Amino acid sequence: MRPIRGILYKIISVVMFITMASLIKALSGEVPPGQIVFFRSLLALPVLVIWLAWRSELRTGFKASKPLGHFWRGLVGTMAMGMGFAALAFLPLPEVTAIGYAAPLLVVIFASMFLGEEVRAFRLTSVFVGLVGVLIVLSPRLSVGSSVSQIQALGAMLALSGAVFAALAQVTVRKLVATETTSAIVFWFSLTAAGLSLLTIPFGWVMPSLWQAAILILTGLLGGVGQIFLTSSYREADASLVAPFDYASIMFALAIGYWGFGEVPTMTMLLGAAIVIAAGILIIWRERQLGLERARQRRVMTPQG
């Protein structure tokens, strides 16, 4: 394990994903979300194939022991991407980022519901506090009235729905890792998402301009390379160490939103985001503590000789 390298890889992946999101926001209103999902997924495939070949994992990367599991993971993951990309057209980048932090909180609930994982009072309380933070971020966007507020409410609901599907995707991945390799999960997700996004063609794809095509290609490449660095970060360090660096994305989102799109964050959004981040870090810290406790118990129970 090389923790410093793992943290560095995680930060690089965060930068790449938030840069990808900012490019997608730049295309908002010009290119349909389904078309963006297609390019994001399809153009990530060559990057992933090259990476798998470099690691001599092409054989395992293409092997799927549970095709139906990969399909469901691809379906909910594609829904998460599409809704998240659509939300960027209606809300500031930092708000979409902050609402997306609901996903790891919801994973705790869904893992209990669908995987039978035990959820103790500490984690449940942290999830509740985090969801309160999400509601604080959402609150200014849920008022009814002008057409502008209605559009913002739509964006808020899209972002929140995207977080729900992202959480379901993570729960599906937890089931898949029992039988599938990480490389296979990553590869088949990109392939499935590219295929499913073609179903949105009847809803109005456009012929991209040269500039739009360049942005679409770049989003796919950034997504593929970002996924590689994300996966590599968990190879180099414990998940409990690198996971909190996900929340660095809000800093990059605030900077890009302000300088790139003239988006000035509100105090309500900052307060809600801070609460969500604090709750998420508490859950990660608690998981680490429980992991250390289990490790100590195993050492005690293991016969010495």
Average pLDDT over residues 101-115: 89
Q: What is the mean pLDDT of the chain?
A: 88
DSSP SS3 for 223: helix
Task: Yes or no: say if 12 and 245 are a contact pair by the CB < 8 Å rule.
Answer: no
Query: DSSP state, 237?
Result: S
- pTM here? 0.90
DSSP for 118-164, written as a single string: ---HHHHHHHHHHHHHHHHHHGGGS--SSHHHHHHHHHHHHHHHHHH
pLDDT at 146 over 60: no
Q: What distance separates the 2 farthest-apart alpha carbons in the chain? A: 74
pLDDT at 51 over 80: yes
Q: What is the pLDDT of residue 8?
A: 93
pLDDT at 286 over 70: yes
pLDDT at 293 over 80: no
| 16: amino acid identity, one letter | M
pLDDT at 304 over 60: no
| 289: amino acid identity, one letter | Q
| 305: amino acid identity, one letter | G
pLDDT at 219 over 60: yes
CB neighbour class for 302 (10 Å; exposed up to 12, middle 13-18, buried from 19): exposed
pLDDT at 179 over 80: yes
Say which residue, 12 or 292, is predicted with more confidence: 12
Q: What is the pLDDT of residue 204?
A: 87
Q: What is the pLDDT of residue 117?
A: 79
pLDDT category at 144 given cuts 50, 70, 90 is low
Indicate the range of 47-61, 144-158, 213-227, 241-255 predicted with least confidence.
144-158
pLDDT category at 52 given cuts 50, 70, 90 is confident
CA distance 53 to 146: 54
Q: What is the pLDDT of residue 64?
A: 83
CA distance 195 to 148: 34
Task: Yes or no: say if 292 and 240 are a contact pair by the CB < 8 Å rule.
Answer: no
Q: What is the pLDDT of residue 23?
A: 96
